[in-house]
Amino acid sequence: MNPNNFRYQLIIFVTICLLTLISQALAEPYPGYTLFSPNNGRNTYLANLNNTIVHSWTHTRSGGYSAYLLEDGHVLRPSNINNSVFNGGGATGGVQNADWNGTLVWDYTYSNSQHHSHHDIEPMPNGNVLLIAWELKTAAEARQAGYNRNVSIWPDHIVEVQPVGSTGGTIVWAWHAWNHLIQDYDATKDNYGVVGDHPELLDINMSGGGGPSGGDWMHTNGISYNPQLDQIVISSHTLNEVYVIDHSTTTEEAAGHTGGNSGMGGDILYRWGCPSNYDAPGSAYFHVVHCSVWIPEGLSGAGHIMAFNNREGMGTSIVAEIVPPSDSLGHYHIGQDSAFGPSAPIWTYTASGFYSNHLGGCQRLPNGNTLIAEATSGYLFEVNSSGVVQWSYARGGEISRALRYGLDYPGLAPLAVSDDVEILPNQMELSQNYPNPCNSSTTIQFHLLKDCEIKLVIHNILGKRIRVLESGTLAAGDHQTIWDSKDDLGEPVCSGIYFGVLKAGSGEKSIKIVLIK
């Protein structure tokens, strides 16, 4: 090799490495407030980047799968209503809207013996709300549709509800998966056909199904609306796919195969995650998926789809960003091998110890970072595009989703007259422990910007205090301590996920510690 060429390539390599390190060093969390609602609880919280709760709502019913802060300062959330027919995981049955002060202004029920809403909702730009719901099909109806089991089934449907009064709602649009089925099991049925020739339809005999007798066939858990394309993306836990459908249709067109901007009615425009579901070649990418979301216009990756790949039973989860093969009008193109692309995500996040076997959330932020909810541990954190953690909050418990709202978001206007003035942590820095994962002891380092009273505590995944490592007034500067994987009584603790929580002044920062013995 020419020495000059080698030096030139070396200079380029070193420059790229330095720029990468500088960009990572200059990166920071997106300024704003994080909204979250603990699963199956009655509270919704708004936290600043000091991890201080600056506002909270107490609700009349439990819920917590998701919560949205509207531009008027209200919180919109699914709420739990008991139903003896539909009692699968994620069952809700209602939607509640509470104003900034917690006063309930809308309490809508979508639950009876024939249908029941579940999991996520989506507030629409027009003020309406999209709901995911089950509908009951008897064993006889299922057999007539070519189902190969003699049990009832709960296919999913989506309704768009226009709020009316304090408890009412008008369904202005609906889509039913039941209208878009195919099967190759029973040639005597009308929907009999070659599954591989119809990726726009759902094979009713795809594997899946939870709840009583496996009736919860799809277990759709995430829904997101793209106003530029007028399309909806949903994620299916049991079918391991994300699906895109056309929202520009009428309800009548959504029940058929023509009409709307796509010309395909309510048929599936795009699907990704498990090509064998439509007899296409390729291996499954998703192994339980949650929180399918469009990346909004104006953000890094706009128009792409993100989802939380739980990888149940595999020990490590992945947040994936995929680029659908579409044109500017939202028309999707299938590959020559009859499988929808891409062949792999354009961006992923994973890390040792990052795992939630169910639930999970993700959100792309305006600065290009990604907010992630590791649901089963209640660990919320933000990473930059290189996967470096910029902010974290070890809340504990179980938190399905979290959303960050920027400082200029209209719904935060009531905070302008509150006492919350500390937006960014300004008293401390807490580094990730090392080694991590650890098997006996691990070192925790932190930096104080001024003399202050601190407390450094180890908690378990349920939020129970395990060990107080530091407590008292410390001088400004660098500090470090070692946790020997023992509790306050000197007894060794078992393997698992723990959190190191540092409180200094009014601020709080946290790290996740993975202990493997």
Residue range 188-208: mean pLDDT, rounded: 92
How does residue 127 score in pLDDT terms, banded at 50, 70 and 90?
A: very high
Say how far apart CA 179 and CA 277 lie, in whole Å. 17
How does residue 496 score in pLDDT terms, banded at 50, 70 and 90?
A: confident
Quick one: 196 exposed, middle or buried, by C-beta within 10 A (0-12, 13-18, 19+)?
A: middle
Say how far apart CA 196 and CA 205 lie, in whole Å. 13
Q: Give bridge partners of residue 235 from the DSSP assignment.
A: 222, 242
Q: Indicate the pairing of strand 181-182 with strand 202-203.
A: parallel
Question: pLDDT tens digit string along 102-112?
Answer: 999 999 999 99
Say how far apart CA 259 and CA 264 lie, in whole Å. 6
Count other C-beta atoms under 10 Å from residue 92's C-beta.
30
Residue type, 175: W
Peptide bond into 275 cis (omega under 30): no
Task: Report whether 272 contacts 242 (CB < 8 A).
Answer: yes
Q: Among the listed ranges 72-81, 146-155, 457-466, which one has the minimum average pLDDT value?
A: 457-466
6 pLDDT exceeds 60? no
Q: Among the listed ranges 50-54, 77-81, 302-306, 505-509, which one has the minimum average pLDDT value?
A: 505-509
| 52-81 burial code (b ≥16 CB/10 A, e <16) | eebbebebebbbbbbbbbeeebbbbbbbbb
Nearest to 234 by CA among 287, 280, 270: 270
Say how far apart CA 186 and CA 152 lie, in whole Å. 17
Q: What are phi and psi of 52, to 5 degrees?
A: -100, 130
More confident call, 134 vs 6? 134
How far out from the chain centre does Cα 26 lie?
27
Say how far apart CA 409 and CA 71 lie, in whole Å. 7
Q: Model pTM? A: 0.85
Q: Among the listed ranges 134-148, 365-379, 395-409, 450-464, which one has the minimum average pLDDT value?
A: 450-464
Tokens standing for residue 481: 């301590």
Task: Report whether 484 contacts 500 (CB < 8 A).
Answer: no
Task: Report whether 307 contacts 286 (CB < 8 A).
Answer: yes
Tokens standing for residue 171: 């369904």
Task: Report whether 361 contacts 373 (CB < 8 A).
Answer: yes
Quick one: 21 exposed, middle or buried, by C-beta within 10 A (0-12, 13-18, 19+)?
A: exposed
267 pLDDT exceeds 90? yes
Task: Report whether 57 contacts 42 (CB < 8 A).
Answer: no
Structural domains of the chain, with CATH: 31-417 (2.120.10.30), 428-515 (2.60.40.4070)
Q: What is residue 425's predicted lDDT score, i.e. its pLDDT? A: 47
How does residue 497 score in pLDDT terms, banded at 50, 70 and 90?
A: confident
Quick one: 143 exposed, middle or buried, by C-beta within 10 A (0-12, 13-18, 19+)?
A: middle
Q: What is residue 215's predicted lDDT score, i.e. its pLDDT? A: 79
Q: What is residue 429's predicted lDDT score, i.e. its pLDDT? A: 83
Contacts of 126 (CB under 8 A, 6+ apart): none
Tokens standing for residue 496: 């698992």
Count other C-beta atoms under 10 Å from residue 25's C-beta.
9
Question: pLDDT tens digit string along 157-190?
Answer: 999 999 999 999 999 999 999 999 999 999 999 9
Q: Indicate the pairing of strand 477-483 with strand 496-504.
A: unpaired
Please give the sequence-ordered ranges of beta strands (E in DSSP) within 248-374, or none if there are none: 270-272, 289-294, 305-309, 318-322, 347-349, 361-364, 370-374
Q: What is residue 11's predicted lDDT score, i.e. its pLDDT? A: 52
Identify the helix (H) or strand (E) that includes residue 3: helix 3-26
